[in-house]
Amino acid sequence: MYQVAPAIDALGRPHRGDDLFKRLEHLNRIGVALSQEKDITRLLEAILVAAQEITRADGGTLYRMTEEKTLKFEIMRNGTLGIAMGGTSGVEIPFYPIHLYDKDGRPILTMVAAYAVHHDRSINIADAYTEEGFDFTGTRNFDKKTGYRSKSFLTVPMKNHEGEVIGVLQLINSKDTATGEVVAFSDTDQHLAESLASQAAIALTNRLLINHLENLFESFIGLINAAIDDKSPYTGGHCQRVPVLTMLLAEAVDGCRVGPLKDFSMTDRDRYELKIAGLLHDCGKVTTPVHVVDKATKLQTIFDRVALIDTRFEVVKRDAEIAALRERLRALDKGPAGGAVSKDIESRLKQIEADREFLRRANIGGEAMKDEDVTRVQDITRRYRWHNVDGDHTDFLSEEELRNLTIRYGTLTPEERGIINHHIEVTIQMLEALPWPKHLKKVPEYAGGHHERMDGKGYPRGLTREQMSVQARCMGIADIFEALTAKDRPYKKGKTLTESLTILGRMKVNGHIDPDLFDIFMWEKVYEKYARQFLDPDQIDEVDATKIPGYAAPPSS
């Protein structure tokens, strides 16, 4: 803790009417503001601006230490010249970094900023033009070009909690508040700048540490999704697209000023929490067997077993042909009856081929299966008999094959559907087991609710709309719409916007999805923003919103 400087400094000069306590209060307010800033660029800018204000400096530069042990220009400001470079200005600083060591590895001590780093102390220079021991060639060249007069310098190293210098704060030309003249930085200025540099270094270190931890955490999430992607590429893509669509819808709700959700709003923390939940919403699929996740056809396990049935049909055809040839030989011995045998075998072979093609189509599972189709599969298994490996006559289709080929919707049996549905329970268990910090406490709830329905008929907990957050309901719509439009699923083609919105609209009508969120999804054309990023051109058709089931025009604001 530094001691308050006396009313007269070491050179016997009055402190230009400084109100020290006001400046200390200002310093405290700055410290609080720095600790709350989350953006690194704005934080660095705030540090320099605050240092200028508290020391009444006309200009200044903030340098950051690089991994190569150089000082990189991050922010430059000069009030008289109207210079604002780096930071939020968007103007790049055209100066090379300051080297701390020469090519032989010896410390460079002629540059003020480098000297401050090597000696770990502040350097207070009253007049750069009369100061000896430092190289101010660059400063003089700058002054020559601009007509400026760089006089007083205050250079302060910024150290983190481990005592490492992470940056340098350099202030130029302190101005007397009464006369506006450039004067030397006082002892009070130096103490205040050192205190600010210490607080700034802590704020910067904390923010960098938080950013590193967040990056590590998000990289770990990416690792989980990469593992899922390695098992099932379409699921990995789904895990990347759902968070994007969730955020698009949530931002649309946040910006909507009409309807029942007009008062909904999100902070930056809320956004980050929802983003993380979106990235983790299907993490439980890391435990789901790949042959179930990627089951493209009804008979697929490790491979599509329709090939085995094809082989059986070939055996049946050979058996039929052999039997026909034998019958024809017998008929030829008896006279002209051989022609009838030929017609019979032709008819038989056509029936076999037709039944094989039918089972191939039934195996795809693209459309709902009709009752007559189910009956035909059952007839086929009884129509043909074949010899198994033991030489016994057996049904053409096994019970398990018959059960799969008569799946009414999609390609999954009820047991396989249960395995798929179990992933959400695993997701919730995994996420609830983690020690989430306060600002991420709702991640399990957001991620775990995307298969619930507004009418309470969803899973795994049968929650109703009133029991779910807006964020979880957003994720539910995003999950469905992504699945409808996905073009990388092994068992279906991606639907067009109109087809997908028609299905989504029916889900609004039957109580599956949140009606208010669906309305905003339509009003704000969230589907178009998503489509531009992820859909093929042939999927992006012209949508007539008035023909979408459940569509309601937006109310007047």
Q: Which residues make up the CATH 1.10.3210.10 domain(s) of the chain?
A: 232-294+415-547
Distances 409 to 190, 366, 406, 412 between C-alpha atoms, Å: 76, 8, 9, 8
Q: Which pLDDT score, from 0 to 100, does residue 335 have? A: 59
Q: Which pLDDT score, from 0 to 100, does residue 115 have? A: 96
Mean pLDDT per 10-residue run, the chain (557 residues)? 39 50 75 77 87 93 93 95 92 93 93 95 95 91 93 94 90 92 93 88 85 88 79 70 95 94 94 93 77 64 69 76 75 61 77 86 78 87 74 78 81 74 82 90 92 92 94 95 83 86 96 96 96 94 95 84
Residue in 463, 460, 448, 447 with CA at minimum distance from that of residue 511: 463
The answer to whether 380 and 359 have CB atoms below 8 angstroms apart is yes
Angle value at C-alpha 32, between 28 and 34, nearest 5 degrees = 110
Distances 364 to 298, 490, 491 between C-alpha atoms, Å: 6, 10, 7
Q: What secondary structure letter does DSSP report for 161?
A: T
pTM, two decimals, is 0.64
- Neighbour tally for 259: CB within 10 Å: 17
Q: What fold does the segment set 20-209 form as a domain?
A: Beta-Lactamase (3.30.450)
Query: CA 149, CA 81: separation in Å to the nearest integer?
Result: 11
CA 197 to chain centroid, in Å, comes to 35
Residue in 436, 459, 430, 418 with CA at minimum distance from that of residue 224: 430
Mapped onto helix, strand or coil, the DSSP state of residue 210 is helix
Residue in 27, 25, 8, 26 with CA at minimum distance from that of residue 17: 8
Q: Which pLDDT score, from 0 to 100, does residue 8 have? A: 45
Query: CA 228, CA 268: separation in Å to the nearest integer?
Result: 28
Query: CA 430, CA 535: separation in Å to the nearest integer?
Result: 32
The answer to whether 484 and 500 have CB atoms below 8 angstroms apart is yes
Q: Which pLDDT score, from 0 to 100, does residue 392 have? A: 73
Query: CA 48, CA 61: separation in Å to the nearest integer?
Result: 7
The class that CATH gives domain 232-294+415-547 is mainly alpha
Q: Which residues make up the CATH 3.30.450.40 domain(s) of the chain?
A: 20-209
Q: What share of the chain is helix, strand, coil (3-state, %, to 5)?
A: 55, 10, 35
Q: Which pLDDT score, from 0 to 100, does residue 223 have? A: 84
